[in-house]
Structure 1
Amino acid sequence: MKYAHIVRAIFLERPNRFIAIVDIQGQRETVHVKNTGRCKELLIPGTEVILEKSDNPARKTAYDLVCVYKGNRLINMDSAAPNQAAAEWIREGGLFPEKVSVTTEKTFGNSRFDIYAESEKRKAFIEVKGVTLEENGVVRFPDAPTIRGVKHVEELIRCLEEGYEAYLLLVIQMEQVLRFEPNWKTHQAFGRALVKAQQAGVKILARECIVTPDEMKINSKVPVFLEESSE
């Protein structure tokens, strides 16, 4: 999952969830933010960010904000990147031992799942969640309440009941983290949905990514802890 034209900038402010104001070598520029989440712990004035320049001259904004530095850690915050990286990873044999055909945005019941993988041996639905919230090496999801996320997890249980394999793939959009856990403080219902899904047989997987300014690629396993926090 690569970006073509990368530019470094300094984040100044975020007037709304769709745009940000940045400084590119002394020039103020309005850019599109490819993540509508809060990201308040990431987008701090003075922070270095990575932009991708668009090839479309008709666009209102010439750049997309795709990565941000948190100290020395580079975090990809492009909400489209996890699905793209996951599809590439599965096609390359990252999840299943045999070759599978991969379909994106596959409908099942009242939900549309990110990935459907099929071979002679299996039929599997995979929902992908990108994770950017990190504290002391612990990553959590979600960073805001997500009723839609709860619905997707519950629908994965239905997939199992209909005879499919079901996976929730948490794509950690950074490297060198300690573990994943639900963000119990922000959305308890999502954490409980994960626990219920795991007990039903849904496979909850977390993978960290190799992140560079122009690329994000799924890499190694991250331990998943679903025990409810008392914080």
Structure 2
Amino acid sequence: MEFTPVLKPARLVQRYKRFLADVVTPDGEELTIHCANTGAMTGCGAPGDQVWYSTSDNRKRRYPHSWELTQTACGQWIGVNTLRANYLLGEALAAGAIPELSGYNSFRAEVAYGAENSRIDWLLAAENRPNCYIEVKSVTLLQQQWGYFPDAVTLRGQKHLRELQAIAESGQRAVLFFAVLHSGITRMAPARHIDPLYAEMLLQAQRRGVEVLCYGAQLSPGGIRLHTPIPFFNFDGDPSREKSKRSRISLA
């Protein structure tokens, strides 16, 4: 996806009330911008970080500017607008950029499904093959050289795992797709230290046939594009302590 016009920079003052952030532009203007990320956003925006924001032409919006990216002091890029993840995957599917999800000719977004009244992010279909149900999650948490999901306990995420597992057990294809929107993340694991139940449920879902795909992204003020597979490891414990397993990890 391209940002048109290109994002504008500002310095972060603070994020508050979950959905708002105060910033100062290079010419000294103070703005309050909207933050679409409802998560903890750990490490995604410290006071003084450079942020990049878009501007909507919708005059009905109380806050026309939206926080899109963070550029940290160490030069890492983070996509903080979680609403972008589904759109990014949709673009990648249309372009055939995800080999594991190729071969489908029908792509539908936000389709109702499941016993718990969920909506799947993407439903893929083709003749003579099972439907493919894809749940998309945005990943921005980097700790001890590992990317993690979730960044807070997620009852909604647990619900989605139950729904995906039921799909896999029915004989259709179920995929949990992690859109990794942090340039510093090169390997991923479930955040067992944050939500141990989610990690256990994900391990069980994988054993029942749910697939996990992780793709990193190129991020810049001009746009974002999913492009690189990232290895995913579901350890039964803290991956930072699994020395014998880490020694076998290839980041190529």
TM-score (norm 1): 0.95
Query: Which residue is equivalent to 2:87?
Result: 84
Q: Partners in 1 of 2:79 and 2:199 — Cα distance?
A: 23
1:101 and 2:106 matched = yes
Q: Partners in 1 of 2:184 and 2:82 — Cα distance?
A: 20
For this pair of structures, how many residues does the alignment match? 231
> Secondary structure of the residue that 1:225 maps to in structure 2?
coil
> What's the RMSD between the two structures over aligned residues?
1.5
Structure 1 residue identity aligned to 2:141? L
Structure 2 residue identity aligned to 1:58? K
Query: Which residue is equivalent to 2:135?
Result: 127
> Secondary structure of the residue that 2:160 maps to in structure 1?
helix
**Structure 1 residues 78-87 or 93-102, which shifts more?**
93-102
Query: Which residue is equivalent to 1:68?
Result: 70
1:19 and 2:24 matched = no
1:3 and 2:6 matched = no
Aligned identity (percent) is 28
Select 1:202's aligned residue among 205, 210, 223. 210
**Moved beyond 6 Å, runs of 4+:** none
> Secondary structure of the residue that 1:181 maps to in structure 2?
strand
Query: Residues 185, 115 of structure 1: CA spacing in aligned structure 2 closer, same or farther, 3 A cutoff?
Result: same
Alpha-carbon deviation of 1:214? 2.8
Query: Which residue is equivalent to 2:244?
Result: none
Select 2:122's aligned residue among 108, 115, 136. 115
- Note the residue ranges of structure 2 that are not aligned, 5 or more in a row: 242-252
Q: C-alpha deviations, 1:134-172, integer Å up to 9, x for none?
A: 124311001110011011011111111222100000010
> Secondary structure of the residue that 1:154 maps to in structure 2?
helix
**Structure 1 residues 94-103 or 150-159, which shifts more?**
94-103
Structure 1 residue identity aligned to 2:14? E
Structure 1 residue identity aligned to 2:4? A
Q: Partners in 1 of 2:22 and 2:183 — Cα distance?
A: 27
1:161 and 2:187 matched = no
Q: Partners in 2 of 1:163 and 1:107 — Cα distance?
A: 18
Alpha-carbon deviation of 1:203? 0.5
TM-score (norm 2): 0.87
Q: Partners in 2 of 1:3 and 1:220 — Cα distance?
A: 20
Q: Where is the strand percentage greater, Structure 1 or Structure 2? A: 1
- Note the residue ranges of structure 1 that are not aligned, 5 or more in a row: none
> Secondary structure of the residue that 2:101 maps to in structure 1?
coil
